[in-house]
Amino acid sequence: MLGFIIRPPHQFLSLLLCPGLRIPPLSVLSAQPRPRTMAVSSSSWELPLVAVCQVTSTPDKQQNFKTCAELVREAARLGACLAFLPEAFDFIARDPAETLRLSEPLDGNLLGEYTQLARECGLWLSLGGFHERGQDWEQTQKIYNCHVLLNSKGSVVATYRKTHLCDVEIPGQEPMRESNSTLPGPSLESPVSTPAGKVGLAICYDMRFPELSLALAQAGAEILTYPSAFGSITGPAHWEVLLRARAIETQCYVVAAAQYGCHHEKRASYGHSMVVDPWGTVVARCSEGPGLCLARIDLNYLRQLRQHLPVFQHRRPDLYGNLGHPLS
């Protein structure tokens, strides 16, 4: 069994779910069989375990932290070495003005609480999209959507600021104008070595741009992470398809922690947090409601797959250029 799902107590769920949303029972996901030539030889219990957290953020920052901390502590209790939180884990505001008012710098109180949480639990944290007041806040009065990676000592080891901003109008879904309050990040971040493997950082809408994932893979990424707050219209149509495509084309694990459910009267998210292996198989998935799913990362399997199907050796940049230039 490669992946499974944990649900918090019903009392804990009731703080976050919108009225009428169903609380499902504990569920288990079985992985699809892999090709015989790439079977896992080592015991799965020896492999690093990662936790993917699914939450329903609101404008209440302290309640959101309590929710996330409960899931992170449960992930640590179950033996995870790295826990992934979704985009906007800190809050989801009702409008751009509230977003700017609630934002903080990286050295603010909220990140300090997560630093202490990482130390307390002794695991790494992927904080998938923090509303960051950058050094240019006074001049721009805009923020960055910042993916922060903390190690088990609570130190910031990497930050990635979202480079592709979601300015879209989808019929049946609230218009998104991320650029009203947010600036695009200037660069990609080189993959970071963690206890689970080399992690490449991205955020949500970035998954629609394969050049980014190819650049991270060519720079050595073994795990791509797309913390997200996908909408209710694009989610059923594109979410799993895009995540599996990014895994297959890069031969990486893909970890996607997602927002779920009704955040307030103006916004809801699709959920369906998941882990996809390099073959494109969904090996762990959250269903409805806040909770977490767990998956083991098998880097020997990843290396075998890349050896059997060496697509990066077969690329023809002489014909179509080097899509996704390797990071310097």
Assigned token pair, 131? 């509303």
Q: Which residues are catalytic?
A: 87, 162, 204
| Bridging pattern class, strands 253-256 and 223-225 | parallel
Nearest to 49 by CA among 15, 17, 4, 13: 4
Sign of CA dihedral 187, 190, 196, 197: positive
Assigned token pair, 158? 């990497």
Which residues does 129 contact at the CB level (< 8 Å), separation at least 6? Answer: 86, 87, 88, 89, 145, 146, 147, 162, 203, 204, 227, 229
* Partners of residue 130 on adjacent β-strands: 146
CB-based contact 55:86 (threshold 8 Å): yes
For 199, the 3-state DSSP assignment is strand
Assigned token pair, 185? 């990040």
Helices 109-121 & 61-77 angle (0-180, nearest 10): 10
Nearest to 206 by CA among 235, 250, 163: 163
Question: Could you give phi then psi for residue 272, rounded to 5 degrees?
Answer: 60, 45
Assigned token pair, 305? 């797959």
